[in-house]
C-alpha cells in the first residue's frame, strides 16, 4: 500500500514551522493558506457548514498553541484534521449539554452535512451521489470523505479517528458498497 501523502509537503510544513518559531510571520500566513481550504472543506463534510470558518480559525489557534506536541511522523494536515475533528466533537457535546437533545454521535451529519444540497450539488447525478453519502453512518462517511475526497491514507485516517488501519479499511469498503447500492436502487 502506497501512502497517499505527498512527500515534499511534510518537509515544506516543517520548514515553515521552523521559520515561524524563528519569528517569521509570513511562515504562518503560508501555513494557513496551505491548509485552510482543506480544513474548511472537511468542516463542511463533517456537517459544520455554518461554523466552518470559525472552526478553521479555532483549529489553527489550538494547533499553533501546541506545536511542541506535533510529531513529525505524521503530516501537519493530518494533525490539523485530528484537532478539528476533536473541536467538532466538543461543540456537539456542548450543544447536547444545552438540552437540545441531540445525538452526539449522529448530530450534524444527517441533518446538516450533505443535506445542504442546494449549495453542494451541481446536477442531478451529483445530487444522487450526495444523497448516497448522506445515507452512510457517521464513521463510514468520515472514513469515505478522508479517503476519497481528502486523499488520506488508511494510516492517517486511523490517526485522525483514533482508530486502526484495519478498521478504517473496513469502514471504507463498507461505505463504498453502501454508496453503490444506493446508486443502483
Partner 1 sequence: MTDCMNAEMRDLLPDLAAEALSTAETSRVGAHVAGCSPCADELALIRQVRGLRAPAVEIDVGAIVAKLPRPTPGAAPRVTAPHDDRGVVSLDARRLAATHAAVGRRSLANRARGAWRVAAALGVIVAGGWSIMMVRSGGIPNMQMQADSVPLTDLGAGVSVPNVTANEDGGNTPIADTSPNAQATEGAAISFGAMNDLTDEELTRVLDRLEQWDGATSVETTTTRPILLITPGEARQ
Tell which one of 15, 67, 94, 104 touches partner 1 (CB under 8 A). Answer: 67
Is residue 70 involved in binding partner 1 (CB under 8 A)?
Answer: yes
x/- site string to partner 1, residues 42 to 61, per CB under 8 A?
-xxx---x--xx--xx--xx
Q: Contact with partner 1 (CB under 8 A): which of 5, 10, 96, 137?
A: 5
Report the interhelical angle of 165-184 vs 124-134 (nearest 10°): 130
CA 146/CA 164 separation, integer angstroms: 14
How many whole angstroms separate alpha carbon 176 and alpha carbon 123? 21
CA distance 35 to 106: 26
Does 23 bind partner 1 (CB under 8 A)? Our answer is yes
Q: Least Å distance between CB 32 and partner 1?
A: 5
Residue 95, C-beta contacts closer than 8 angstroms, at least 6 positions apart: 102, 107
| 33/100 with CB nearer partner 1 | 33
Number of H helices, E strands in the chain: 9, 0
Is the CB of residue 114 less than 8 Å from the CB of residue 149?
no
Of 96, 110, 121, 139, the one binding partner 1 (CB under 8 A) is 121
Q: Which of 15, 149, 164, 166 binds partner 1 (CB under 8 A)?
A: 149
For residues 153 and 130, what is the distance between their CA atoms, to the nearest angstrom? 22
85 touches 141 (CB < 8 A): no
- Does residue number 11 form part of the binding site for partner 1 (CB under 8 A)? no
> How far is it, in rounded angstroms, from Cα 120 to Cα 113?
10
Q: Which stretch binds partner 1 (CB under 8 A): 79-87, 95-103, 104-112, 142-150?
A: 142-150
Query: Does 164 engage in binding with partner 1 (CB under 8 A)?
Result: no
Query: Which residues are near partner 1 by CB under 8 A?
Result: 1-6, 14, 17-18, 20-23, 25, 28-29, 32-33, 36-37, 40-41, 43-45, 49, 52-53, 56-57, 60-61, 64-65, 67-73, 116, 119-122, 125-126, 129-130, 133, 144, 147-149, 151, 153-154, 169, 173, 176-177, 179-180, 183-184
Amino acid at each position: 500500500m502506497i501512502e497517499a501523502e505527498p512527500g515534499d509537503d511534510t518537509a515544506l510544513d516543517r520548514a515553515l514551522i521552523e521559520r515561524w518559531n524563528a519569528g517569521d510571520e509570513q511562515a504562518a500566513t503560508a501555513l494557513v493558506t496551505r491548509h485552510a481550504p482543506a480544513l474548511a472543506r472537511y468542516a463542511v463534510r463533517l456537517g459544520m457548514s455554518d461554523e466552518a470558518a470559525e472552526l478553521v480559525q479555532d483549529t489553527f489557534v489550538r494547533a499553533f498553541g501546541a506545536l511542541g506536541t506535533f510529531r513529525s511522523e505524521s503530516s501537519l494536515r493530518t494533525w490539523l484534521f485530528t484537532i478539528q475533528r476533536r473541536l467538532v466533537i466538543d461543540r456537539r457535546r456542548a450543544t447536547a449539554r444545552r438540552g437540545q437533545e441531540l445525538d452526539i454521535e449522529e448530530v450534524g451529519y444527517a441533518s446538516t452535512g450533505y443535506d445542504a444540497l442546494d449549495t453542494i450539488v451541481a446536477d442531478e447525478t451529483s445530487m444522487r451521489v450526495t444523497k448516497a453519502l448522506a445515507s452512510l453512518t457517521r464513521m463510514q462517511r468520515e472514513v469515505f470523505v478522508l479517503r476519497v475526497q481528502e486523499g488520506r491514507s488508511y494510516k492517517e485516517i486511523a490517526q485522525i479517528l483514533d482508530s486502526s488501519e484495519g478498521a478504517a479499511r473496513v469502514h471504507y469498503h463498507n461505505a463504498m458498497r453502501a454508496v453503490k447500492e444506493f446508486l443502483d436502487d
